[in-house]
Structure 1
Amino acid sequence: MKKSIIFAVVAGAIGVLVGYLIFGNSNKEQSTDHQHTSATSNQMWTCSMHPQIMQPEPGDCPICGMELIPAETGADGLSKDQFTMTKNAIALANIQTVTIGSGNVNEQRITLSGKIVENEQLTVTQTVHYAGRIEKLYVNFPGEKVQKGQVIAELYAPKLVAAQQELLTAVALKSAQPELYNAVRNKLAYWKLSENQIKEIETSGVIKNTMKIYAENTGTVDKVMANVGDYVNSGAPLFSSTNLSSVWASFDAYESMLPFLSINQDIGITTNAYPNKKITATIDFIDPVLNTKTRTYTVRATLNNKNNELKPGMFVKGIVQTQNNKANQLITVPKTAVLWTGERSVVYLKVGKDRPVFELREVTLGKPYDESYEVVSGLENGDEVVYQGAFTVDASAQLQGKNSMMNSNKPAHMDKPEQSITVQGITSNNLESVLTSYLKLKNALIKSDVPKATLFGKETASLLKELKNQTTLSKSENQAIQDILNSLANLTSTEDIKNQRNSFRLVSDILIQIASNGDDIQKELYVQYCPMANNNKGAYWLSDSKEILNPYFGEMMLNCGDVTRSLQ
């Protein structure tokens, strides 16, 4: 009896264990299958050639027709331009963000670099006032100081010798002919002889062979322009000099600094020679013309230099403090957050609150400040931008095929032709045969049939020549048809399908312009575009069907492209 009970208990336990193993695993498998199905249902699909395409179901790429492939699971629930990064990657790259706002810029500090130059208003040239030969020259080198009234040269002048003789004669006749006496004295005074020199001649009665020349201004010699023994004419320069009691601080300012600088604005100036001595001055000149070579303009301040501490050629630094009256209205972004692509300025926004989701945003920038840029458009108060590690975020975007610095994911459709063609003589009637032949040429290129493409290229050229000879065309129409004929000549003279397709592209561009600007054509045509043709620059063609059959790739990517507009 006991054995029977024990056997029953053991059998029951074994049954429970077997049941658990069977039905328990079944439930787990069902749970796993459910989770897998749920994950699969959230799977996104993309195109390997056009990663901007994101669809919730498998299918074909709407651009090139290629079969879509599963996208990375990290892109679930995101828009096509958004992407995620792992927390580990963010930590390793030290990516940091900041919330932008307005009112962060109250004062702007502009730093200018420049040097001390001569005050050109105090630069003079010492000249001679009568012709003669330089017998002695007492100013011989640049940098020499000259005082007003100092003897600077002695000149032998034959005319001056004769004038002295006239003076002595006039002195003897002074009482009888005072007008003659005054006229001779005035002539010598006109030659810049001083009153003392004239009186000395009168009282001594001796004619001097050489005459001393006196400095007319005080200054420092810049350049000596004569030598002993030179024969000089009236007005010839001896040297130039500058009074260095006042000098200019001349700075080079960039175009971006122009909005912050103005006349009569205070500027603090320091020199390398006296770094602890600050000179306060005001801006008294801003060059109205930009230097096209350096892309800078001159900003200048006049400095008092009576102690002669400032030497021309010294490097100086100027600091201008500007007040921003509209600081509370400005939206600014850190300079480190902005990435430059040439034509575009972009930043990366963190748009995910619970997880690190990023998105590229194009911005229009205004004035530059010390550590930030004014944002004209593209951002709003409260946006969170990446200000450290932006290049790492951009690299992640490129690897995931998202919108990035180098990939804007925007096809460059050409809605209007670059060349303007005035259509007058070409009508839908005389263009119909040309378009029919053109469509045959297009179909031959779709099939990569070089002989037929050559045949229909010649046929199209022949029809265009007939149109040109039988119709009165405008100048732009004549030029357009000649350009088509030149391209068709290249198309029919080669057996390389790539060269034929390139020539066909040029033919298509002009025919689209003519058909677009002329009167209504009899048969509806479609302007179609492939973004990958012409080395990814894009190319257009005309078709009489909405179906995309690509003449630039043929069977390689037969359905790559889309319809941009229709003509009828």
Structure 2
Amino acid sequence: MNQTPNEITASSKPKLKYALLIILSVLCGSALTLLVLKFAGDSHQTSMSEKTNEAEPLYWVAPMDPNFRRDQPGKSPMGMDLVPVFAEDAGSSNTNGPGTVSIAPNIVNNLGVRTAEASYSNLHVPIHTVGYVGYNEDNLVHIHARAQGWIDKLYVKSSGEQVANDQPLYALYSPELVNAQEEYLLAVNRGNKGLTNAALARLVALQMPKQAIDKLKETKTVQQTVEFRSPQAGVVDNLSIREGFFVNPERTLMSVASLDDIWVETEVFERHAAQVKVGLPVSMTLDYLPGEEWHGEVDYIYPTLNAQTRTLRARLRFPNSNQTLKPNMFAQVTIHTNLAENSLLVPSEAVIRTREQDRVVLALGDGKFKSVAVKLGAVVSGQAQILSGLEAGDKIVISAQFLLDSESSIDSDFMRMDNVDSHSMQAMPEPEVQSATVMGKVNEVKHDSRQLNISRGPIEKWGRGPATLDFDVLDTIDLSTLSAGSQVHFTFEIRAGEFVIVELMQHGQSQMNDSAQDESSNTDSHQGMQHD
């Protein structure tokens, strides 16, 4: 249907009105937005201006390295503008020094953070070595005949036989004893008291037993054979006679040893010599009775070191009332020493050890933590000795410390806030050499290349099983006493990825050798020992 021009104009008027209203609304909104932005910008500039006027920056730092500080604006080593740090900013973010990490209490609980306190105590350092069971020589009696003669009757037939106190051992026919008895009876019959006492003294000097003398006095009859008895209860050793043997005072007939307590001869390496003292407690185990443990003490320390093996001999004493321990048994011995009295100790699990330094994470309270460097001493039995870097009462983190350290160490100076001796912390100790002591059997001695092929036992502290390896040997060790089948007890160190034996004791000769043996192993065995 066709419309006239007037009709079209009339129908378009409402649409124009709506369009004009929309355009007007947009213009008004834009104007209002511009006014708000301008007001906000002016307010921000005013606050920044007031802040700048009220306080001057303490210093300027690099955005990517808070330790890079300058007294005036400039560029960081990375070419970025330095950021000003005001007093309130430094106070809020660096209350406990660079590297302080703040964590909300609920996050601390979720991380399972546990702490321990550094405290002074005695550092117990066990010395592990080996020993050989022997008689207590204080209770060892050697039997000799004071008068020469012939063994008419032998009551003990072999070494190791148990004897009771005053039990007959042997009967001796001795012309000298017969003559001494006749002289005594002659003096008695004459009634000469002086000669009688002299003759009796001669019988005692010839060790004629009291029972035999009493019988002589009672019967007034000379005894052709005299019975000699054991002076103590024990076991017979070194039996060197048989019935019919001719004996004289120069000959040892036998020995009688008590087993109520025993001695254990052991040797310790020279580096442990100063720690071993008389009276220290000792524990001992033997392979033939697994699970059993004996407790004794250091009885005597020999005054000199072995010049060849550089080891110190010590004598240990153990009670043996049930006589379970036998002479010549081989034993594993632990001497319990105190390396240093009143040492500052922390749990060893709290120490984070790196190639460059050792450090711990301090718990500063209120959810704040900070990594600090420490100088580490001995680490034994789950305790670490702290030589510097901590004080008694400091709380340190013993779990989740690696996560906290990774955050704190980014910008930490690793210094305590109250540590004025900053120079003492700059020289950190060298990384501790890892070492292990283990038993082994020599399979082959290679004199030309100075190597030993050894089948070593397990290393429990590293979780390593037995392995057969080639060990290099330093020139300071004498290989002439070693052969295939020798049982050895040795200590090796890991040096620059190589295994070096530094101490060795050959069981068969009860000898220790200060040596440096290294484990350059066959490929599979070397891989199995890489972390030893």
Q: TM-score normalized by structure 2?
A: 0.45
Looking at secondary structure, tell me which structure has more helix per residue. Answer: 1
Q: TM-score normalized by structure 1?
A: 0.42
